[in-house]
A and B are shown apart, each in its own frame.
Chain A
Amino acid sequence: MKKHCGQAISWERTGGVIELALRREPLNEIGSLTLDELEQFIEELEAATSQASALIIYSTLPQGFSAGADLRELYEKGRKLARDDRVAGVRQFLERIHRVLNIIDASPLTTIAAVHGVCFGGGFELALACDIIIADKMARFCFPELRLGLIPGFGGVPRLERDVGYAVVRDLLLTGRSFNVQKAQTIGLVSQVASEGEALCVARATAAQIAKFDRHTSIVAKQFIKPIPYNELRREIEIFCTLFARPAVEEALRKFAESTDRQPYLP
């Protein structure tokens, strides 16, 4: 795997660890550019799997891991289209991002999300596709989609249900609130908490530990303990597209995209 530096992400392999860095200003919003580059990364990842034992995903941006889907791009692209074309476009995007996240989820490598700061929406869903989430004390998680009249669409609901209790899932999805790393660790979402700014360092130490063990055993164990909810993931796409077709969602996206409100990230 050659070192690659894209506009939205970069990656390299050092020894047995592949590192994927999210680097798109202002906060790693996941839109077309990021998706294109993730698809390129996935191709190289599959080819490089035999040479590595772990994948770390982290952000180089100081404010956080990722703010989620690029809502401004979603709004701008959609406003020029008829409703059916808008929904078709979203469905296509979701199917592509699901493919990327499913591959990460099922990767023979042990995958680690090293999270700091904001980890919202699609960014949270990217972290949930990983085997282990290591977060620093300033990490904050959220599924804010309800605020737009949507549910998470990148696979977040089935993956969150896989990891935490249903009561917590209902609280988070139905209130759209953000929560800190202490809460995240208490509910079993985050397995290790690092000091501020140290999530990547801790992730690298964890990857080094993982590299000590027999790969075949790790791969078999992961397949056994981490089922991938393919049916529910497909159902999530259907529900998302049905909700997305509603005029209220278009209006909510317009308000977000055009807002000069000083509190867009607060509920």
Chain B
Amino acid sequence: MPTLEQTTDEILKLAAAHFKVQREKLSPDDDFFEKLKIDSLQALELLTRLENHFRVELPDYEMQGVTSFRGLAERIQSRL
């Protein structure tokens, strides 16, 4: 099973690629709404991409209060 750091890194790569942001400009503790300049619909899109990529089901209510990439990774890690 991947480590939390590995999962976080994959999320950062995926988010950077899809939302066309330079990977180097993203850090694990960044607020993904602000860094990616996305709204809640696009956050759902990100969630769907992460579910597809990691092959997990992540109820969106688990996103409550989650605003960092590391936070996303922790939620995903708990489902791997």
B80 contacts the other chain (CB 8 A): no
Does A265 belong to the interface (CB within 8 Å)?
yes
Whether B59 lies near A180 (C-beta < 8 A) is: no
Residues of the A chain whose Cβ atoms lie less than 8 Å from the Cβ of B63: 266-267
B75 to chain A minimum Cβ distance, whole angstroms, is 13
Number of A-B contacts (CB under 8 A): 56
Separation in Å of the B10 CB from the closest CB of chain A?
18
**Residue tally, chain B, CB below 8 Å to A:** 17
Asked whether B16 is an interface residue with its Cβ less than 8 Å from the other chain, the reply is no
CB distance from B53 to the nearest CB of A (A): 11
B40 shortest CB reach to chain A, Å: 4
Contact assessment for A267 and B61 in the assembled complex, using a CB-CB cutoff below 8 Å:
yes
Residues from chain A with a CB closer than 8 A to the CB of B61 are 175-177, 267
Question: Which A residues are CB-close (under 8 A) to B57?
Answer: 179-180, 182-183
Those of B5-58 within 8 Å (CB) of chain A:
33, 39-41, 43-45, 48-49, 51-52, 57
Using CB atoms and an 8 Å cutoff, list the residues of chain B in contact with chain A: 33, 39-41, 43-45, 48-49, 51-52, 57, 59-61, 63-64
Q: Bound complex: CA of A124 vs CA of B41, how far in Å?
A: 16
A219 to chain B, nearest CB (A): 36
Cβ-based interface call for A118 (8 A): yes
User: Contact: B48 with A138, CB < 8 Å?
Assistant: yes
Verify A267–B40 contact, CB threshold 8 A: no
Do A175 and B59 form a contact, CB below 8 Å, given A117-B45, A263-B40? yes
Q: Tell me the complex Cα distance, A165–B7, Å.
A: 33
Chain B residues with Cβ below 8 Å from A27 are 41
B60 & A177 in contact (Cβ 8 Å cutoff):
yes
CA distance in complex: A67, B59 (Å): 18
Interface centre among B41, B51, B57, B61 (most CB of A within 10 A): B41
Smallest CB gap from A137: residue in B: B52
